[in-house]
Amino acid sequence: MKPRKIRLLWIVGLTVILLASAMVALSMLWPRLFPSFYVSDLYCRYEDNEYIRVTEIHNFQVNDTLAVDVLLMEATTDSAWCELLKDFGTPEKVIEFYRTNRKFIVGEDVNSITEFIIDINNPKKYTTQADPNCRLVIGSYTKKTLCLFLTEDTNQQNAISLTKISRLKNEN
């Protein structure tokens, strides 16, 4: 073989190896480089809001046998908390009651926790567990947080509800 062909063969071979290596590295790093491809629409809706911290946790361990995806939203101000409640279909009367009687609601263990089922396509619409597009939401008035559990299975929702509500009551 002529030296020119050998050099061309080496250049082509190294180029192919570098491209293959780059593709493998890119496929592994893609979720870290572009995280918005792997999160829910609700996460994208709140990620730029400076008054609401939003975190999506994949494979969150609820108990020893159950791991689900969870969207956690935490309001940093009372007005952001009221907006978050409004975005999730809380009636205006309840929000107004919270604004006027905040110390009463936050101070009572039973009242400081809320649980409801929403339609994933329309978070303002409450629904039942029988709806296949339903999601469980558990909120804490004390911590100004809403946890949206991204599961469709009613058995999982019941297990989550029992576990999380009892933990929240013990923490308050």
Residue 51 has pLDDT above 90, yes or no: yes
Residue 122 has pLDDT above 70, yes or no: yes
Write phi, then psi, for 59 (nearest 5 degrees).
Answer: 60, 45
Confidence (pLDDT) at 159:
78
Question: Domains of the chain: which residue ranges?
Answer: 3-33, 37-171
CA 161 to chain centre: 16
**DSSP tally for the chain: helices H, then strands E:** 6, 6
Long-range contacts, 98-105 (Cβ 8 Å, 24+) = 98/141, 102/78, 105/141
E-state strands within 26-121:
52-61, 67-75, 113-119
Mean pLDDT of the region 70-96:
88
Confidence (pLDDT) at 80:
92
Calpha distance 131→150 (Å, rounded)? 14
Single-letter amino acid, residue 96 = E
Confidence (pLDDT) at 19:
93
Q: What is the pLDDT of residues 123-158, one digit of tens each?
A: 888 887 777 778 888 888 888 899 888 877 777 777
Q: Assign 73 a pLDDT band (cuts: 50, 70, 90).
A: very high
Confidence (pLDDT) at 74:
94
Residue 162 has pLDDT above 90, yes or no: no
Q: What is the pLDDT of residues 17-49, one digit of tens each?
A: 999 999 998 888 776 666 555 667 788 888 888
How many CB atoms are located within 10 Å of the residue 67 CB? 14
Q: What is the pLDDT of residues 88-119, one digit of tens each?
A: 888 888 888 878 876 666 555 555 778 888 88
Confidence (pLDDT) at 101:
74
pTM score above 0.75: no
Confidence (pLDDT) at 14:
92
Task: Give the residue among 156, 144, 170, 6 at the shortest CA–CA distance from 69.
Answer: 156
